DNA sequence: CGCAGAATTGATACATCTCAAGCTGGGTGG
DNA sequence: CCACCCAGCTTGAGATGTATCAATTCTGCG
């Protein structure tokens, strides 16, 4: 259980007011009183890249927000086939109030910090104060929309479109944080291994690799190292993704 | 706009107390006062099988519950590829509070009756009373779970497993209404055409047809007409679906 | 009866998977 | 400090599952 190379930033107990995800997480709408209630039942946990946080079927006595880092939700079939069903970025919520056991494996893809709430008291807060439940509904509806977009990708897109779509999704999330020039050149670092991408996209790792190479050969993307991608023409990539073009970039 | 063959049951204005979905829909937890508020902003609409209720991108000034019949949510790509992303049964909710335009096509698969609420007043009720939002959160979390199961199907299952899974899903929903003998012989009527099944499963219509024939030849299912299916051994079908066996039948 | 929509079946093409062999870069121990 | 090692990745060749294109065959209904 010793720490490897990069020690994750230590959050022993950050005041909610100073929290980096204060305005986007499940607590976004809370007033000072509510925040204080949450503060009393919260604790931080850190995980190393690659670590499995929860196994599907495990008893889970907390819910949590991702503070920093990236985690995935994955389903596994008996014979080992795996499908990612959630990609959790900072501010995203993990766990389901009212459920005893985890429905999916939760894995830290990078070093990760989570703000955990003991489940029972969290459920109580949800009943007594409106803002947590309201925000959670909003976030869950967003996740459902994302899941449905993902279903279109899994059911109908070609391998090349899937790869292009994934890069677009990651690039957009990056752009939503640091503005950058809307249309032209875009630079992204993939936070996923080829294997994790294949689990996201419902492909094999080899097909992922081949299609990335193909996009590179066609000049749609440029690659340095394994993970660092430059997109010379973002609109061109969006076309490759097969998405309804209309943008929705700022919507 | 004339009525065809089977005229749907007419619900001009049913008292909420007598509503067939009273205890399962978004209003399930409402007390009499809340119910009365909803009653004031509701109206019924009927649709014929095959009719498109909403087009993706349309302005949508209501949200609704399915009262009877079946509807689908579908996404369409520019070149016409289509993926179903939602299958709505009685009590299921349509629309998203706080959103202006529809994100998906909504199509009546059978004759259909919906209980519609004007959006703005509905949103007001959600803010002022807790029970509607709480129930909607619960339902949305259930839908998200279903979507994630669906993603595993789309991303990792074979055509045969997809067909078997779909029959299991439909059979379970039927069983959850009328009890029936838990394990043995099960009888189902498919509420979907082969084409609708193909849109659900991310397959072509021809592959759906072939795999149904294959399951029939292997004795996993028996078919009378196009839609009526008998499952002599439900556990056998579940195996074919590739699902984690543990059941979860009554959970 | 005969039509039209729905479904089945066949032959072939093709995208992706599978199995297998190398490559690459960064960390480690000698 | 260098050689090795190994996880992550790339590339190749061939197998295979599903899509595509094209006839038929059903079935309910006018």
Tens-digit pLDDT profile for residues B120-177 = 999 999 999 999 999 999 999 999 999 999 999 999 999 999 999 999 999 998 888 7
Which of these, A148, A145, A124, lies nearest to A37 by C-alpha position? A124
Q: What is the largest CA-CA distance in chain B?
A: 57
Name the residue of chain A whose CA is nearest to B132's CA.
A134
**Does residue A184 surpass a pLDDT of 90?**
no
Q: Kindly report the CA angle at B180 between B175 and B186, in degrees rounded to 5?
A: 75
pLDDT at A118: 97
If you ran DSSP here, which 8-state letter would residue B17 be given? Answer: G
Compare CB distances from B147 to A81, A82, A151 and report the shortest one's residue: A151
Q: Could you tell me the pLDDT band of residue B1, with boundaries at 50, 70 and 90?
A: very low
B29–chain A Cβ distance below 8 A for any pair: no
- Closest nucleotide to B216's CA, by C1' atom? C8
Yes or no, beta carbons of A147 and B147 under 8 Å apart = yes
Question: What residue has token string 């996923």?
Answer: A192
Q: CATH says B9-132 is which class?
A: mainly beta
pLDDT at A185: 86
Q: Kindly report the CA angle at B164 between B159 and B170, in degrees rounded to 5?
A: 125
Inter-residue contact A104 to A85 (CB < 8 Å): yes
**Does residue A142 surpass a pLDDT of 90?**
yes
Tell me which chain B residues have a C-beta less than 8 angstroms from the C-beta of A96: 141
Which segments of chain A belong to CATH 1.10.10.10? 157-240
- Determine the Cα–Cα distance for residues A118 and A37; give it in Å rounded to an integer: 12
Q: Which residues contact B165 (CB under 8 A, 6 or more apart)?
A: B153, B157, B241, B242, B243
What CATH number was assigned to the domain covering residues A157-240?
1.10.10.10
Query: Nearest-CA residue to the C1' of C5?
Result: B193
Q: Where are the beta strands (DSSP E) in A77-189?
A: 82-88, 93-94, 105-108, 112-118, 186-189
CA B51 to chain centre: 16
Global confidence as pTM: 0.93
**Does residue A231 surpass a pLDDT of 60?**
yes
Token pair recorded at residue A104: 């999916």
Which of these, B214, B193, B216, B217, lies nearest to B205 by C-alpha position? B193
Which segments of chain B belong to CATH 2.60.120.10? 9-132
If you ran DSSP here, which 8-state letter would residue A101 be given? Answer: B
């Amino acid at each position: 259980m010793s720490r490897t190379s990069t020690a994750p930033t230590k959050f022993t107990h950050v005041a909610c007011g100073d929290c980096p995800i204060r305005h986007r997480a499940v607590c976004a709408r809370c007033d000072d009183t509510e925040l204080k209630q949450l503060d009393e039942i919260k604790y931080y946990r850190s995980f190393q890249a690659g670590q499995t946080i929860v196994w599907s079927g495990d008893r889970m006595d907390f819910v949590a927000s991702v503070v920093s880092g990236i985690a995935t939700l994955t389903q596994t079939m008996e014979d080992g086939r795996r499908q990612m069903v959630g990609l959790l970025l900072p501010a995203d919520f993990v766990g389901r109030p009212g459920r005893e056991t985890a429905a999916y494996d939760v894995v830290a893809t990078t070093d990760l910090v989570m703000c955990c709430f003991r489940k029972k008291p969290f459920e109580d807060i949800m009943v007594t104060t409106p803002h947590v439940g309201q925000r959670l509904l909003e976030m869950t509806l967003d996740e459902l929309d994302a899941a449905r977009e993902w279903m279109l990708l899994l059911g109908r897109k070609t391998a090349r479109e899937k790869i292009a779509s994934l890069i677009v999704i990651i690039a957009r999330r990056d752009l939503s944080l640091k503005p950058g020039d809307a249309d032209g050149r875009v630079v992204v670092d993939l936070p996923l291994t080829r294997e994790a991408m294949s689990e996201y996209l419902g492909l094999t790792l080899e097909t992922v690799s081949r299609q990335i190479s193909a996009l590179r050969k066609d000049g749609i993307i440029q690659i340095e190292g394994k993970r660092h991608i430059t997109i010379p023409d973002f609109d061109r990539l969006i076309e490759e993704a097969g998405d309804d073009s209309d943008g929705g970039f700022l919507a």
